[in-house]
Amino acid sequence: MTIKTAIAFCLTVFIISDTVAQNADMSYNKITVSLSYYGNMLIKPGVKAGVEYVVNQKKCFKKNKRKSITDLIVKQLIVAGDIGFFWHPHSHIAVFNYYTLNYRIVKPSKRSINTIGLGPGVYRSVYPKTYEVDNMNNVKSVSWAGRTYFAPVVVLGTGKMINHYWIQSWHFNTNIMVLFNYNTGFVPLLSFDIGLNFKFNKK
Amino acid sequence: MLKTIQPVHFIISFTILFYALFFASGCKKEDNNNISDIFYVRHAGADIPAYLYGSKQNNVFIITLHGGPGDNGLEMRQGNAAAELEKRYVMVYWDQRGQGLSEGKFSANDITIDLMAEDLQALILVLKHKYGNNIKLFLLGHSWGGELGTAFLLKNNYQHQLKGWIEVDGAYDIPKVNIEVVGKIIKDGNEQINLGNSTEKWEELIEQVKNIDTNNISITEGRELNKKARIAQKYLFKDDITQKPQSVTWRDAGIFYHEDFLTAAVSGSWFYVLNNSFYNEIETASYSDKLCKITIPTLLLWGKYDFIVPPALGRNAFKLTGSEDKKLVIFNKSSHSPMNNQPEEFVDEIIQFVEGHQ
């Protein structure tokens, strides 16, 4: 049931965005706020919120020989900050915060957005009930137990512009977060997020 | 305006529904008899999750020790055998140090079988702290879990906390395992050739192992033998010599959902495959000479067609274990995991053993 719900959610976002985008105008706001469903391994559910700021933007034109037209391509350098959590059912909750420098290519004619980003982050796992056993075999309860990790992240994203009133676009990102000093080495976490980018200001 | 509001309403509704379903499914379910509990044990730099499911009616807790190393505790929950046992007893599944969803920070060089036996002792202390000193504890180890379990039983006076020891295809003596794998591939392979089953494949497999010097099997050769043993089991499975496990149920799918195979696989690799000191310790560990010190009731369960830890190890353990109350059961249609091949018979044996010793 839960997997079906997740699929339904993704499809809904996709269908709605595509419908709404019929009337899209292709201007791109400097500051956007995003809200996403964040799924570790897709199906461990969470939420992610973020802010993006376009630091630099370059417009260039590319000739489309087949259609005999000139396509506009917008290349952007973006700084982004994200915060979120996900829930490992029946186990633990994880909260994270990361900052990325993103390179984005926007093709207004196709309404397509492709992003690649990289940056540092912090990850904290929060356990349920935890009991510590010391060297003297004493057992005591630990409150808010968990582990904090340095967690750099690589983001690969795709999406479509919507540009309808206050929704800028939808996105689907693949996130590879690497937790360092996890047990004896490191461990990668593969996550996906799907959501909407909202215009912070209308221009 | 309407066009904008509609999708937002849709998204919000779906999000609320989504999380309501997830959180509803995650609520702890516990009544007088049934238990569904998860907690972490923090011990010597590791945070070890333990998952408890089953019935408290008999106050019997069966602590499982998963295989690998590199597997995870909830794998032991897959299949009908675990489901049936949960109807009578509390099954304790846990991710051993550095495996599954177990977290922590410790040096690879510090990891030893002895430390992991201490982790198990820490888990037992927490179980007693949480559920009372009168709980009746049994230990069930599979494959590598059988090696870890044996190490635990031989340490200090730990075995006397337990009502019984259930060894399922346990690798308590890896050098002996390697020797027996060579012999079993040749013997059973020839039997299968005579029966006309996968003839060419068996001939090829026998050819690959027949020249191995069983008096001097290196760790690298041991690893190769383990791979060949798995191949041999596949041939038997294909030829219907071993009983096919029951198909995956919705319950199994739910358990798989709780696991995290990527984290478990990477974590397990760091922990074991890429950790030479620990790997060498496991691959050279031999407890045959010390089995006489195990005096608690013991149930040895083995698959007749287990090539990974051949049944000769079961017969050896039956002969050498110091317990006066011991039983060896060989499942005729099983390979390395009789709980999957013959779950009904497997469960019957465990129930009979537990009921007789609780």
Q: Can you give the pLDDT at residue A19?
A: 46
Number of structural domains found in chain B = 2
Tell me, what amino acid is at B303?
G
Strands B46-55 and B103-104, bridge-based pairing: antiparallel
Residue predicted with more confidence, A73 or B31: A73
pLDDT score of A26 more than 70? no
pLDDT score of A22 more than 60? no
Q: Can you give the pLDDT at residue B20?
A: 52
Token match 């945070």: residue?
Answer: B47
Q: What is the largest CA-CA distance in chain A?
A: 80
Full domain range(s) for residue A67? 2-199
Full domain range(s) for residue B291? 2-173+246-357
Reading chain B (358 residues) residue by residue, the pLDDT tens digits are 434 444 445 555 555 555 555 444 444 555 678 999 999 999 999 999 999 999 999 999 999 999 988 888 888 998 899 999 999 999 999 999 988 889 999 888 888 999 999 999 999 999 999 999 999 999 999 999 999 999 999 999 899 999 999 999 999 999 999 999 999 999 999 999 999 999 999 999 999 999 899 888 998 899 899 999 999 999 999 999 998 887 778 777 777 777 777 777 777 777 666 777 888 899 899 999 999 999 999 999 999 999 999 999 999 999 999 999 999 999 999 999 999 999 999 999 999 999 999 8
Q: Please answer yes or no on whether A91 and B107 come within 8 Å at the CB atom.
A: no
Q: Are residues B130 and B202 in the same domain?
A: no
Q: Identify all chain A residues contacting B271, using CB atoms and an 8 Å cutoff.
A: 183-184
pLDDT score of A10 more than 60? no
Residue predicted with more confidence, A115 or A11: A115
d(CA B225, CA B179): 9
Q: Please answer yes or no on whether A190 and B262 come within 8 Å at the CB atom.
A: yes
Q: Are residues B47 and B183 in the same domain?
A: no
Q: Can you give the pLDDT at residue A165?
A: 78
pLDDT score of A181 more than 70? yes
- CATH number, domain containing residue A103: 2.40.160.20
Q: Point out the domain boundary residue: B213, B238, B263.
A: B238
Q: Are residues B24 and B72 in the same domain?
A: yes
Number of structural domains found in chain A = 1
DSSP output for B39-103: EEEEETTEEEEEEEEEE-TT-EEEEEE--TTT--GGGGG-SHHHHHHHTTSEEEEE--TTSTT-E
Q: Are residues B126 and B204 in the same domain?
A: no
Q: Can you give the pLDDT at residue B3?
A: 44
Q: What is the mean pLDDT of chain A?
A: 85
Q: Are residues B20 and B116 in the same domain?
A: yes
Facing residue for A137 by CB, picked from B102, B125, B258: B125
Q: Identify all chain A residues contacting B125, using CB atoms and an 8 Å cutoff.
A: 133, 137, 139
Q: Identify all chain A residues contacting B121, using CB atoms and an 8 Å cutoff.
A: 137
pLDDT score of A131 more than 70? yes
Contact A189, A154 (CB under 8 A): no
Q: Can you give the pTM of this predicted structure?
A: 0.85
